Amino acid sequence: MTLGIVVGATGGIGGACAKALAGSVTRMVVTGRDQAKLAAVAGEVGGNVTPVIADIATDAGRAAILQQVEGEELRWLVIASGAPLRGALDELDPAAIADTFQSNLVGPALLLRAVAEARWSNPASVAIIGSISATRAIAKRSVYAASKAGLERLAMSLGAEWAPRGIRVTVVAPGIIATPFLGTDQSRLDEWVKERVPSRRTGTPAEVADVVRYVVLDAPDYLIGARIAVDGGMEATA
């Protein structure tokens, strides 16, 4: 029996990752905070899928995820959860700042610390969904960018720590991807994308998920602590 876990499967990218990885393990666990969305994702994935309501930012949420690991061999883990936060730093509510770091960095770090003691297959993989915001200075994204930068560096360092155990850790950093995070002003977004993204279009969750499937299942063992940007060429031309 092998187990795969997608944390944050109710998001556009997380759900796409779950579908892309369908059939790669004996049982898949998908987690999220919205029961209806989680049930829909589980139905789309099909097969032996266990939906678990869990918020990675909380002790109870992480415990619910860890409970699923007991007695099974963990083949892969994808952390695709995250909380967006926009606004100038001096205008943001202090509680919102703390919550963003808890959701995007502290929660994932504590979950990874906990699953370090699980029984992993060999080989095994961890894929962390980062963001190009981690490497770009964008106004009104300071807290979100800092949380994702911390998460990416955590993952890269963990790649070096866990490589001797046969657990490969990589980061997939999406660019401008068509998810609700982008907001509702589509005409303004299209104009911005045409000016700043070499591909001249937004990406899709499925395109990010294809890269996640590659790093989880098909990448060579020598790809350790790597960061792959799926951004239509934005970082290449920055």
Q: Which residues are catalytic?
A: 144
Cα dihedral sign, 118-124-129-134: positive
User: Is residue 46 a contact partner of residue 96, using CB atoms and an 8 Å limit?
Assistant: no
User: Is residue 126 a contact partner of residue 155, using CB atoms and an 8 Å limit?
Assistant: yes
Distance CA 169, CA 202 (A): 26
Three-class SS state of 180? helix
What backbone phi and psi angles, to 5 degrees, belong to 119? -90, 110
Neighbours of 111 (CB within 10 A): 23
Distance CA 100, CA 196 (A): 27
